Amino acid sequence: MALTLIAGTAHPALAAHVAVRLGVDLVPVSHERFPDGEQHVALRRSVRGEDVYIVQPMSSPVDERLMELLLLADAARRAGASRVTAVAPYLGYARQDRRKAAGEPISARVVGGLLQAAGVDRLVTIEPHSTTLEAMYPIPVLMLTAVPALTEALRASIPPDAVVVSPDLGAVRLAERYGAALGLPVAVVRKQRVSGSEVRVQAVAGDVAGRHALIVDDMITTGGTIEASVSALIQARAVPPFLVAATHAVLVGPAEERLGAPHIGRVWVTDTLAPRFTRLPAQMVEAGPLLAEAIKRLHAEAALDDLEART
């Protein structure tokens, strides 16, 4: 069974990088937009009997990326692919993994069901918002971690007295993985989300006074969480400038301005999403090598434990 790669339109450069590392050509795909806005895709070569991987991070506009991924999966399935794997390094709707109030859906679960219905056999993603995702998806989910790649990139810039800071309770496990990799203690900011773009900090738990800090998160969206964490750290007498590392640079709205604030030093992100910024002083860490290695091992049915984000 041949290994076959298909690129959605969300991040062609990342798909091309993975294709080069795997030594395969991308399947030619035609994309068309109907006058009413509907997407139309068509695979331009046969994938019959092949082990197909579709690379499509769910960047903004998320629903369009998701729909295109569903259409590509259905196309591959109907063209006789033996196995279809969705490779969505950044997974949309993953934050909506529980009902916070009556009347809400569990959107992450809905997306899992859609992927399965379109013929996706399994999903590969990087640092999803929560590892509970695995339990709510009806298909197997391989959750990779970019922490080793990020810590390798930033290690030399971390002062020995630094503390790793989780900007909320949800990122504590992630912060612990950074802490373990860098040999640093972990502190936690308790935040309360006021709206989609505003957060309020309640307290900092842990010893940060007089220390430098590396704030880590799975994603930076509007930058509100990082901004609020910086204020909390200053109040708690940590030493700026603070370093920041995040896997997914979603970066919408005021993110670029917020991350350019004077108390923020270097920022490291990966290229799971196509870069949206021009001025941000961010160091980009490639996600392609991790994705290529995971796809290679999945295709070979080899072990992946050392690449996975389990907690």
Q: What is the smallest separation between the CB atom of 171 and ligand R5P, expressed in angstroms?
A: 6
Between 164 and 199, CB nearer to ligand R5P = 199
How far apart (Å, rounded) are the C-alpha atoms in residues 290 and 286? 8
| Residue 41 CB, nearest approach to ligand R5P (Å) | 29
Nearer CB in complex with ligand R5P: 56/222: 222
The structure tokens listed for 132 are 């509970």
Q: Which two tokens stand for residue 206?
A: 């842990």
Binding residues (CB under 6 A) for ligand R5P: these are 95, 129, 167-168, 170-171, 197, 199, 217-225
What distances in angstroms separate CA 75 from CA 47, 63, 238, 265, 278, one per listed residue?
10, 18, 53, 45, 36
Q: Taking phi first (over 0 means left), then psi (-120 to 50 degrees means alpha), and beta for anything else, what does residue 183 get?
A: left
Residue owning tokens 């996706």 = 120
Q: Which is nearer to ligand R5P, 41 or 259 (CB)?
A: 259
For residues 112 and 223, which CB has a smaller minimum distance to ligand R5P in the complex? Answer: 223
Min. distance of Cβ 90 from ligand R5P in angstroms? 11
Active site residue 191: yes
Q: Is 7 exposed, middle or buried (0-12, 13-18, 19+ CB in 10 A)?
A: buried
CB of 24 to ligand R5P, least distance (A): 33
The span from the CA of 225 to the CA of 200, in Å, is 8
Nearer to ligand R5P, 227 or 293 (CB): 227
Side-chain half-sphere of 173: how many Cα atoms within 13 Å?
11
Is the separation of the CB atoms in 190 and 202 below 8 Å?
yes
> Least CB distance from residue 110 to ligand R5P, whole Å?
19
E runs forming strands in the chain: 3-7, 29-33, 39-43, 51-55, 83-87, 122-126, 141-144, 163-166, 186-193, 199-205, 213-220, 242-249, 264-270, 282-285
Nearest to 294 by CA among 145, 83, 81: 145
In whole angstroms, give the CA distance from residue 26 to residue 8: 10
Question: What three-state secondary structure class fits 181?
Answer: helix
Q: Which is nearer to ligand R5P, 170 or 275 (CB)?
A: 170
Q: How far is the CB of 190 from ligand R5P (least distance, A)?
A: 12
* DSSP bridge pairs for 249: 220
**Catalytic member of 65, 77, 109, 191:** 191
Residues taking part in catalysis: 191
